[in-house]
């Protein structure tokens, strides 16, 4: 009887943790939408400037976009913590996943733009694989199979970009960002709104 009760309590705790993880992840949709829009705009701008033979403004453009992105994410995170009070363990967990991915993407992207360390023709493929890892970890931790599917799509894009590099990958990467980053952000937004009537705050 005790073992049965303990098993039920453990299952209830796991279910509660999974639900909390999904609510927390849903609350990150603003961050994903922000970075998705900025990244897609930057990729299309880079593609257009290279096509016009004007590579000088690219570094300045990305410096501005990265500054806006990081400042926006910090503001969104502080705003969400102010609303929720104490940040939950799941909030810290997903924050760590995407903070790590974001710093990695910034370092690799910066190396590709401002130095010859990372060849620019493979940059979209490398960045796509890092994004895939972030989505896979988030989908696994939150128990969301469709988010792991998004990760698989990112890995497929990354492999394609690495095997067939070229100027076209910039426009294709921009399309992938809109479809596979802004799209999931809007899906998480619907999930966050659906959870709102429960009266529990959703953290970013």
Q: Give pLDDT tens digits for 53-94.
A: 998 899 999 999 999 999 999 998 888 766 654 456 777 787
Neighbours of 113 (CB within 10 A): 19
* CA dihedral over 111, 114, 115, 121, signed as positive or negative: positive
- The pTM score is 0.84
Which of 121-125, 131-135, 141-145, 155-159 has the least mean pLDDT? 141-145
Number of helices (H) and strands (E), helices first, in the chain? Answer: 8, 0
The alpha carbon torsion through 106, 138, 186, 20 (nearest 10 deg) reads -130
- CA distances in angstroms from 123 to 20, 88, 107, 110, 163, listed in the order given: 35, 35, 11, 10, 12
């Amino acid at each position: 009887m005790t073992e049965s009760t303990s098993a039920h309590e453990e299952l209830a705790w796991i279910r509660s943790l999974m639900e909390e993880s999904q609510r927390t992840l849903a609350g990150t949709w603003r961050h994903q939408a922000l970075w998705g829009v900025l990244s897609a705009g930057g990729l299309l701008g880079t593609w257009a400037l290279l096509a016009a033979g004007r590579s000088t403004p690219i570094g300045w453009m990305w410096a501005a976009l990265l500054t806006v992105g990081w400042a926006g994410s910090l503001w969104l995170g502080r705003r969400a913590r102010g609303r929720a009070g104490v940040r939950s363990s799941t909030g810290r967990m997903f924050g760590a996943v995407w903070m790590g991915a974001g710093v990695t993407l910034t370092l690799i992207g910066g190396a590709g733009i401002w130095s010859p360390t990372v060849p620019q023709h493979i940059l979209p493929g490398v960045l796509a694989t890092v994004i895939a890892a972030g989505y896979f970890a988030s989908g696994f931790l939150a128990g969301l199979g469709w988010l792991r599917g998004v990760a698989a799509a990112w890995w497929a894009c990354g492999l394609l970009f690495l095997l067939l590099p070229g100027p076209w990958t910039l426009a294709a990467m921009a399309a992938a960002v809109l479809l596979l980053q802004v799209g999931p952000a809007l899906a998480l937004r619907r999930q966050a709104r659906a959870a709102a009537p429960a009266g529990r705050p959703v953290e970013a």
